[in-house]
Amino acid sequence: MSDVKIAIGSDHAGLELKNFIKTILAELGLAPLDFGTDDACSVDYPDYGEKVSMAVSTGQVQRGILICGTGLGMSIVANKFPGVRAALCHDEYTAKMSRLHNDSNILVLGGRVLEKELAQRIVRVWLDTPFEGGRHLRRLEKIIELEKRLGNGS
pLDDT tens track for 106-122: 999 999 999 999 999 99
What pTM value is reported for the model? 0.94
Classify residue 69: in a domain, yes or no. Answer: yes
In a domain, 58, yes or no: yes
CATH code for position 146: 3.40.1400.10
Count each helix (H run) and each strand (E run) in the chain, helices first: 6, 5
Q: pLDDT at position 1, please?
A: 61
Is 41 assigned a catalytic role? no
Q: Which of 68, 89, 90, 136 is catalytic?
A: 68
Is residue 11 situated within a structural domain? Answer: yes
Number of domains in the chain: 1
Active-site annotation holds for 89: no
| List of the chain residues with pLDDT < 70 | 1-2, 152-154
**What's the pLDDT score for residue 53?**
98
Within a domain: residue 27?
Answer: yes
The answer to whether residue 1 is domain-embedded is no
131 domain-assigned: yes
What is the residue range of 146's domain? 6-150
Give the whole-angstrom CA distance, residue 87 versus residue 74: 10
41, 89, 101, 136: the active-site residue: 101
